[in-house]
């Protein structure tokens, strides 16, 4: 039992991840500003309007194959002939995509191409591979085709409105646009889209031990110095989320420098994001600096890797402080910062989804915290575990293609189904 006044009794209670995320998202009021952008330039942006179709797509019944538009009963009648040319019908017209034909004359077929409108009277299309062309058999200067079997009504016909009906909401406000969504928007005639403004994010690191790659050669690094890796992956993740990023560099471990950086960043940004300095050591100046300018909550979150996390306000800007260990910073960004930024842009469906995949490893070391293990799918359909799960081993996030979301106190036996979160779902 822990005695009152002992070091353990003074530790703040760890906050469950779901509670932390709920509290964080409560602060994320969607940005009010809207941009009007070309549909060509809208990939990854978030819709600020419902897209309602003013037409149906396709606008008319059309052929999904190159071939011949026919009337099924005519083909059946032609096949009943006892003559050698049984199943033969003359070609009465040619219909290409972008043109329109005339009503199909009885006991004839129409040469038709993919996307061309079905002529009135036709009720099926026969692929050209299933027809035998008989040059001149349709009369002087015309062809006929022999069809070997009666097609099913509606065969190889795309019906009008089968993709989009007139008046339908094809894309909803709050959806994040994908390449396919851009094509769908264009298919209903949208050349400009109303989207949420990009969040403006100020990014900086703290720590006198940090060195930028290129500034000092590896062989000239001083004892205790490390290259700043966090800024590189955080900036890339922010840009993938559609943010406008101001990279403010490395802030020295001084209170006055930290205060000045925060003051400058708060003037023109929606969010200030830092990594490192969110502990309570003598050289961790983030806490007093933010508190001197606004307000700050330090959260101890019950996750591994991760745990130290800070949220606050500096003037009108949100502030989020991530832990300094690279894997901790990487994972807490994906689990907390990403949903926060998506909500700022008005995304309505930002929940992280996992799938059940068998573990092809054992995990006997159950932890009190909710763990996020770096894993990779294998050819057998299971998940392999990276050997070193330390929060400082960024190699694990490069080798892996996702995370196992392992509940607190849970061990994993080989073959157990686990909750797998692919990086492909949470890194863009």
Specify the pLDDT at position 2.
45
Q: How do 244-251 and 169-171 pair as beta strands?
A: unpaired
Give the pLDDT mean for 301-311.
94
Res. 7 pLDDT band, cuts 50 70 90: very low
Specify the pLDDT at position 12.
65
Q: Going by C-beta distance under 8 Å and a sequence separation of 6 or more, which residues neighbour residue 224?
A: 209
Tokens of 67: 């071939």
Of residues 112 and 226, the one with the higher pLDDT is 112
Res. 314 pLDDT band, cuts 50 70 90: very high
Specify the pLDDT at position 137.
67
Residue with tokens 């020295």: 252
Specify the pLDDT at position 215.
81
| Alpha-carbon span 309 to 12, nearest angstrom | 13
Q: Exposed e or buried b for every residue in 274-291, given b needs 16+ CB within 10 A?
A: bbbbbbeeeebbbbebbe
Q: Residues of the chain with pLDDT > 70: what percent?
A: 94
Least confident of 257-261, 283-287, 338-342: 283-287
Specify the pLDDT at position 226.
79
Angle between helix 286-293 and 255-266 (nearest 10): 50
Other Cβ atoms less than 10 A from the Cβ of 156: the count is 21
**Quick one: 299 exposed, middle or buried, by C-beta within 10 A (0-12, 13-18, 19+)?**
buried
| Cα dihedral 21, 255, 323, 10 in deg (nearest 10) | -80
* Res. 4: pLDDT tops 90: no
Residue 213: which H helix or E strand, with range?
Answer: none
| Alpha-carbon span 343 to 49, nearest angstrom | 15
- 313 forms beta bridges with 295, 318
Give the pLDDT mean for 113-119.
97
Residue 331: which H helix or E strand, with range?
Answer: helix 326-332
Specify the pLDDT at position 190.
97
pLDDT in tens, 81-99: 877 788 999 999 999 999 9
- 176 forms beta bridges with 46
* Res. 225: pLDDT tops 90: no
Kindly report the length of the chain.
428
Q: Tell me if 305 sits within 8 A of 328, measured CB to CB.
A: yes
The pTM of this model reads 0.85
What DSSP letter does each residue of 231-282 carry, written as one string?
HHHHHHHHHHTT-EEEEEEEE-S-HHHHHHHHHHHHTT-SEEEEES--S-ST
Other Cβ atoms less than 10 A from the Cβ of 231: the count is 21
| Alpha-carbon span 191 to 45, nearest angstrom | 15
Give the DSSP letter of residue 352.
-
* Res. 186: pLDDT tops 50: yes
Specify the pLDDT at position 11.
62
Specify the pLDDT at position 282.
46
Residue with tokens 């469906």: 349
Nearest to 303 by CA among 10, 9, 20: 20
Nearest to 29 by CA among 303, 341, 417: 341
How distant, in Å, are the alpha carbons of 271, 277, 288, 300 from that of 292? 17, 16, 6, 21
What 3-state DSSP class applies to 288?
helix
3-state helix, strand, coil in the chain (%, to 5): 25, 30, 45
Residue 59: which H helix or E strand, with range?
Answer: none
- Name the region of 283 (left: φ>0; alpha: ψ -120 to 50; beta: rest): alpha
What 3-state DSSP class applies to 82?
coil
Other Cβ atoms less than 10 A from the Cβ of 88: the count is 19
Q: Exposed e or buried b for every residue in 360-379, given b needs 16+ CB within 10 A?
A: bbebeeebebbbbbbbebee
Of residues 196 and 248, the one with the higher pLDDT is 196
* Res. 8: pLDDT tops 60: no
């Amino acid at each position: 039992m822990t005695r009152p006044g002992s070091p353990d009794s003074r530790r703040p209670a760890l906050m469950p991840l779901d509670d932390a995320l709920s509290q964080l998202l409560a602060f994320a009021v969607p940005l009010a500003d809207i941009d009007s952008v070309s549909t060509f330039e809208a990939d990854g942006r978030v819709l600020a309007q419902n897209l309602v179709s003013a037409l149906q797509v396709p606008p008319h019944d059309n052929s999904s194959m190159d071939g011949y538009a026919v009337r099924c009963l005519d083909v059946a009648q032609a096949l009943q002939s006892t003559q050698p040319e049984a199943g033969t019908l003359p070609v009465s017209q040619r219909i290409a995509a972008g043109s329109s034909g005339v009503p199909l004359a009885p006991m004839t077929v129409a040469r038709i191409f993919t996307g061309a409108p079905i002529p009135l009277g036709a009720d099926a299309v026969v692929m050209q591979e299933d027809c035998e062309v008989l040059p001149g058999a349709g009369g002087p200067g015309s062809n006929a085709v022999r069809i070997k079997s009666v097609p099913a009504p509606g065969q190889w016909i795309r019906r009008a409105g089968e993709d989009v009906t007139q008046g339908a909401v094809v894309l909803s406000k709050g959806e994040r646009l994908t390449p396919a969504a851009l094509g769908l928007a264009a298919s209903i005639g949208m050349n400009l889209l109303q989207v949420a403004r990009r969040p403006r994010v100020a990014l900086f690191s703290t720590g006198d031990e940090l060195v930028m790659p290129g500034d000092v050669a590896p062989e000239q690094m001083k004892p205790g110095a490390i290259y700043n890796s966090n800024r590189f992956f955080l900036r890339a993740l922010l840009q993938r989320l559609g943010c406008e990023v101001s990279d403010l560099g490395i802030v020295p471990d001084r209170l006055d420098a930290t205060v000045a950086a925060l003051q400058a960043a708060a003037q023109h940004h929606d969010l200030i994001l830092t990594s490192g300095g969110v502990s309570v050591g003598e050289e961790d100046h983030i806490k007093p600096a933010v508190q001197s300018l606004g307000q700050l909550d330090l959260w101890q979150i019950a996750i591994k890797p991760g745990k130290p996390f800070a949220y606050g306000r500096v003037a009108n800007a949100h502030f989020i402080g991530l832990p300094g260990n690279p894997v901790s910073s990487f994972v807490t960004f994906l689990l907390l910062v990403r949903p926060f930024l998506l909500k700022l842009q008005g995304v309505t469906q930002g929940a992280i989804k996992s799938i059940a995949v068998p573990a092809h490893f054992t995990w006997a070391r159950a932890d009190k915290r909710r763990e996020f293990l770096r894993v990779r799918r294998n050819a057998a359909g299971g998940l392999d575990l990276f050997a070193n799960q330390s929060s400082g081993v960024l190699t694990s996030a490069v080798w892996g293609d996702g995370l196992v979301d392992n509940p607190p106190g849970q061990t994993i036996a080989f073959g157990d189904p686990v909750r797998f979160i692919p990086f492909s779902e949470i890194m863009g």
